[in-house]
Amino acid sequence: MPAASSNAALRVTGLRKAYQDVVAVNGLDLEVRAGECFGLLGPNGAGKTTTVEICEGLTVPDSGEVELLGMHWSSEAEQLRQRLGIQLQDTQLSEKLTVHETLRLFRSFFDQGPGADEAIALVQLEEKKNSRVGNLSGGQKQRLALACALVGDPDFLFLDEPTTGLDPQARRQLWDLIEQFKSSGRTILLTTHYMDEAERLCERVAIMDNGKQIALGTPRELIASICAEHLVAFSAGAKSQSLDLPALRKISGVRDVRSEKGTVEMQVTELHLAVPALLAELTRQNIPLTELSTHSATLEDVFVSLTGRHLRDE
């Protein structure tokens, strides 16, 4: 084993996968370091799930190479399976089985790992132990799916959109569980289209769009890369047509201005200087404000600044 790879739990090079007429993954390189939580971000259809399923050995790539925990799917699939914890996007576990029966089943596939009861405690489902899966809430089902991924005591955990469709409280609960697992030093690859999830859980993130990686770094680095710490958005109502945008760009501390459907978004470095200047400029142009808001820059803003699109264009 070359020394260079000793710290990479997952190394993906030149990955390519096309379905009929869609190229899902188009020449992707990734490296996930041992012990980190790595986030794969992107909108729906960016190729996240295809990438993850290739890494999980469920899909065969058209070309490219995957090295996972120093092993390869072609030669060491069986050993690899024992070492992985996998949570797939929208798997429905058998509704007629209880939580305990489900975990006992999954535990039976692995050589070692926590027992069913221990796994139930791990995801705090003790009081639902004997409930049928069909009677669980969405959050409880996701926690059960996580427990199914943990029963083999995995060294590498794949989580494909673990909190999609959950209410905020259930999401936070799941985040706590994932953080607990992280603290035990294991490696996680997480896909999500929630930027707050990635910011909270991931050491490093790669942003994917159209099957390619378009950015890579820690959440902080990525946010810093758009050279703006704050976002200011305002709306000028009916008068927005007569707005002089170039004049706004000249305000000191403003990096970028874009206008969309009557709302103007400005990337700003020094909020305390930019906002008074903005108000003065609007007064000069004789434009009344109907709405004004500011927030700290997020990964969502990184995605918008890179692609010009929002992550979830509903």
Partner 1 sequence: MSETTAIPEIRARAAEKKSPRGKTFAEHALVQLTIVRFLETLREPEALFWIFAFPILLAAGLGLAFRNKPAEVLKIAATSRAITQSLQREKLLAVQQMDSHDAEEALRTGKIALLAVPGENGAVTYRYDDTNPEGRTARMLADRAVQQAAGRVDPVHASDEILREPGSRYIDFLIPGLIGMNLMGSAIWGMGFTVVDARRKKLLKRLVATPMPKPYFLLAYLLSRILMLVLEVGIVLGFGAWIFHVPVRGSLLSLAAVCLIGSLAFSALGLLLASRARTIEAASGLMNAVMLPMWIASGVFFSAQRFPDVVQPIIKALPLTAAIDALRANMLQGANLVQLGPQMGVLAVWMIVSFVLALKLFRWR
Report the alpha-carbon distance of residue 47 to residue 43 in Å, rounded: 9
Distance of CA 104 to CAs 120, 152, 154, 158, Å? 10, 11, 16, 21
Q: Shortest Cβ distance from residue 67 to partner 1 (Å)?
A: 10
Nearest-CA neighbor of 160 among 207, 214, 90, 211?
90
Q: Shortest Cβ distance from residue 82 to partner 1 (Å)?
A: 5
Nearest to partner 1 of 88, 271 (CB atom):
88
Q: Label residue 261 left, alpha or beta by phi (over 0 means left) and psi (-120 to 50 means alpha).
A: left
Q: In what order do the strands lie in the sheet with 37-41?
A: 84-87, 156-160, 187-192, 37-41, 204-209, 212-217
Nearest to partner 1 of 33, 255 (CB atom):
33
Nearest to partner 1 of 218, 285 (CB atom):
218
Those residues whose C-beta lies under 8 Å from the C-beta of residue 133, and which sit 6 or more positions away, are 93, 94, 95, 96, 97, 98, 99, 102, 141, 144
Nearest to partner 1 of 8, 274 (CB atom):
8
Nearest-CA neighbor of 66 among 9, 22, 112?
9
Report the alpha-carbon distance of residue 28 to residue 102 in Å, rounded: 36
What are the phi and psi torsion angles at 233 (to 5°)? -125, 135
Q: Shortest Cβ distance from residue 71 to partner 1 (Å)?
A: 8
Q: Shortest Cβ distance from residue 96 to partner 1 (Å)?
A: 4
Q: Shortest Cβ distance from residue 206 to partner 1 (Å)?
A: 17
Q: Shortest Cβ distance from residue 1 to partner 1 (Å)?
A: 8
Distance of CA 140 to CAs 47, 62, 132, 180, Å? 27, 37, 11, 17
Q: Shortest Cβ distance from residue 145 to partner 1 (Å)?
A: 8
* Token pair belonging to 152: 């083999």
Nearest to partner 1 of 6, 252 (CB atom):
6
Nearest to partner 1 of 108, 286 (CB atom):
108
Containing 295, the helix (H) or strand (E) segment is: strand 291-296
Nearest to partner 1 of 115, 237 (CB atom):
115
* DSSP 8-state class, residue 144: H
Q: Shortest Cβ distance from residue 267 to partner 1 (Å)?
A: 30
Nearest to partner 1 of 110, 175 (CB atom):
110
Distance of CA 181 to CAs 123, 251, 289, Å? 10, 47, 47
Nearest to partner 1 of 188, 266 (CB atom):
188
Residues engaged in binding partner 1 (CB under 8 A) = 1, 5-9, 33-36, 56-58, 69-70, 78-79, 81-84, 86, 88, 90-94, 96-97, 101, 104-112, 148, 152-153, 155, 182-183, 185-187, 203
Cα Rg, the chain, nearest whole Å: 23
In the block, tokens 């699939």 appear at 77
Q: Shortest Cβ distance from residue 70 to partner 1 (Å)?
A: 5
